[in-house]
Each structure stands twice: as structure tokens, then as C-alpha cells.
Chain A
Amino acid sequence: MSLLDLLFGSKPKSATIAKERLQLIIARERSGAPGVPDFLPQLQQELIQVISKYVPVDRDDIKVALEKQGNFEVLEVNIVLSEPGRQAGD
């Protein structure tokens, strides 16, 4: 560590980043969830089928994503419904 670093504080440590990344990925791999992204396409497909029964919906109108926020994993499903006017016209 150089004198400048000592005086002005140091940059974020890469070892800390490494530890956080490892804790995340290893916890995920140990939990036995077989590669979470694996089921996302199928989930999206089935959601489209279910929702289409009630509302006309396009494949691109459904977005499924998995995010890590702090200690939680958030499954985000975003469905954009068509405008009512258009729907009535169908």
C-alpha cells in the first residue's frame, strides 16, 4: 500500500467483492436449485398460456426476471395489458 493510499483511504477491495460473489453463487448451487435461469423461459411460456385464456396478451408483453436484492431474491413478473379500446375491438 503506498503512502497516498494510506493518506486518502483506499479503493474498494477486490477481495471483498470476490467473497460476496462466492457466497452468493455457492449458496445458490448448494440449495440444489438447478441453475435458476433454467426455469424462467418455461415459466414465461406457461404464464402466457394462462393469461391468454382471459386477456389477449402478446409474448413480448410478459417479462420474467430474477434479481437479488440484499438478502432476498426477487422474482419479477411484468405483464403489459393491451389498451382497453383495442381489446374491445377484438
Chain B
Amino acid sequence: MSKIIVVTSGKGGVGKTTTSASIASGLAMRGFKTAVIDFDVGLRNLDLIMGCERRVVYDLINVINSEANLTQALIKDKHCDKLSILPASQTRDKEALTEEGVERVLTELQHMGHEYIVCDSPAGIEHGAVMALTFADEAIIVTNPEVSSVRDSDRILGILQAKSRRARDGGEPVNEHLLITRYSPKRVEDGEMLSYKDVQEILRVPLLGVIPESESVLHASNQGTPVIHMKDSDVAAAYQDTVARFLGEDAPLRFVTYEKPGLLKRLFGG
């Protein structure tokens, strides 16, 4: 039994690649054989976030065009031996992604025994984003608590419900999960930021997790380490919880309430 997960958002810069890297790593840490594919042809970045940019020889487009086989193109992750990375091509354009080609690569990954295949979607609603979501069984919608991101998430949900293979075949719909990233409990408390409940109420998608805004995301990407590996960071813990919930475990939400500073700090500004 193998599942294809698309990580998508419509809007750029909300944390799709950070999330793809951490969810894929989290699933592999749980013992599942996992592959993560970068669909952002022409603007690949997953390799940098995973810290394997110097080991890229062949890419997704090479495999689709039969210029390399899948085993040549897959890169073993340095943290988890159950995880492989399939980078995007940096030189071709997105039209090189054909539906038949993508399907063939996904089927072959499943035959190799990958239990989860995570598709890191490019931003936008164009061909690349559509190819990333076409074969999905599960969709993780990454949303920032901010107006443009929420609206774009709603737009990509509509595309998922119209253009995915499952929607076109008229069968079971794609399972949608909402992941809110860059969340600041303090700003929510101060009424400056949409709460996760607001976002969920607007989008009406089951909530998978809330990832707090944190400096550790930049520290992690600087080093090429998926942030889920950052010890003692809230973001890593929040991603672990997210993976647990994705696997059907019960994990209460953490890092969503603001701990008020003491009275002195409040009086003198903090």
C-alpha cells in the first residue's frame, strides 16, 4: 500500500519545500520507505533544503525522458536511510513534465517499495503545480495566516477538486489536510493575525497542524538540514506532531497559545 502526498499552496514562499522536506523526513524516521520529489522544474530548491545539492547528477526530467533510470537519479538522504530525494531539473522548463512521464515515475517508485511519495509542488496554478497534484491521494495545503495565502489556498483546493486524477475519475476525492505555517500566537492574541480557527473556518479543510514562526527554519535551511531534525526547536516538535496526526495518531495542538510575560514585563513593555 503506497500513498502519494502533494504539498501545495498556490502562493509562493509559504513553506512548501520546508514542509515537504520535514514531512518526508518524519515519515522516513517512522520507518516508512519514502521518496520526496521536487516538481519545481527550473527553480529547484528541495536539494538545497535537504543538503544534497552537490550530489545531484540526474533529475526528474532525465528520468521522464529516459536519459537516466530512476535508481541513478534518486539520492539517498544523509539523515534517514529510508528516504530518497528526486531533484527537479534546473535547466528545462515545466512543459517537460508530461502526465504520462510523471505517472510512469510514480508507478516505478511504488514498485520499488516506497510507502510514501511526497510531491513538492511549485508555486502557482500552472502546469507544474497541476502535475504535482494530479496523482495525489493526499494533499497537504500549506497556508500562512495572511489574506493572500488563504485566498490562494482556496484557489488550489478548487484545482485539486477539478484536475486531480481522483477528481477526474469521479472516485474517492483527494484527502485534504490544512497545515498552517509561520504562526505567531502572540500576534494572534493581539488581534494582528488570523487565528488557526479563523483560517480553518474559511477554508473548511481538516487541520493537520500548526507550525510556529521560528528562527530555526532559517538556521536549518542555512545548513541544508530539514528543520524536523533541529533539536529542541518548537518547529521540529510541531512537524513531528503533524506527522503523527497524518499517521492517524492523536496529538494535541502545541505552540498555538501565547505565554504571557510577567506583570513587570507587561508594565514596562516587553
CB contact between A15 and one of B158, B188, B267 (< 8 Å): that residue: B188
B147 engages A22 (CB within 8 Å): yes
Chain A residues, CB < 8 A from B147: 18, 21-22
Please tell me which stretch of A25-33, A36-44, A45-53 contacts chain B, meaning at least 4 of its Cβ atoms lie within 8 angstroms of it.
Answer: A25-33
Query: Does B155 sit at the interface, judged by CB under 8 A?
Result: yes
Interface string of A1-32 (1 = CB under 8 A from B): 11100000010011110110111011001100
- Chain B residues near A14 (CB-CB < 8 A): 191-192
Contact residues, B164-212 vs A (CB, 8 A):
188-195, 198, 202-203
Q: Which residues of B contact A (CB under 8 A)?
A: 146-147, 150-151, 154-155, 158, 188-195, 198, 202-203, 266-267, 269
From A2, A10, A22, residue with most partner B Cβ within 10 Å: A22
In the assembled complex, 19 residue pairs joining A and B whose CB atoms fall closer than 8 Å, in A order, are A1-B189, A2-B269, A3-B266, A3-B267, A13-B192, A14-B192, A15-B191, A15-B193, A15-B195, A15-B198, A16-B191, A18-B146, A18-B147, A19-B194, A22-B151, A26-B150, A26-B151, A29-B155, A30-B154
Size class of the A contact interface (CB-based, 8 Å)? 10 to 19
In contact, B154 and A15 (Cβ under 8 angstroms):
no
Within 8 Å CB of A18, what residues of B?
A: 146-147, 194, 198
Interface secondary structure of B, over-half rule = helix
Chain B residues with CB under 8 Å of A19's CB are 194, 198, 202
Chain B residue numbers with a CB within 8 Å of A16 are: 191
A2 to B190, CA, bound (A): 10
Q: B190 contacts A23, CB within 8 Å?
A: no
Could you mark each residue 59-81 of chain A with 1 if its beta carbon is under 8 Å from any beta carbon of chain B, else 0?
00000000000000000000000
- The minimal Cβ–Cβ distance linking A50 to chain B, given in whole angstroms, is 36
Q: Chain A residues near B150 (CB, 8 Å)?
A: 22, 26
Q: Which residues in A have their C-beta under 8 angstroms from that of B188?
A: 15
A26 touches B202 (CB 8 A): yes
Which residues from chain A contact B190 at a C-beta distance below 8 Å? Answer: 1, 13
Contacts of B146 in A (CB 8 A): 18
When C-beta atoms are compared, the residue in chain A nearest to B148 turns out to be A22
Smallest distance from the beta carbon of B260 to chain A beta carbons, Å?
9
In the A-B complex, the 10 residue pairs with the closest CB atoms: A13-B191, A19-B198, A15-B191, A26-B154, A22-B202, A18-B147, A15-B194, A22-B150, A18-B194, A15-B193
* Distance to closest chain A CB from B160 (angstroms): 14
Interfacial chain B residues near A23, Cβ < 8 Å: 202
Residue on B nearest A1 in the bound complex, by CB: B190
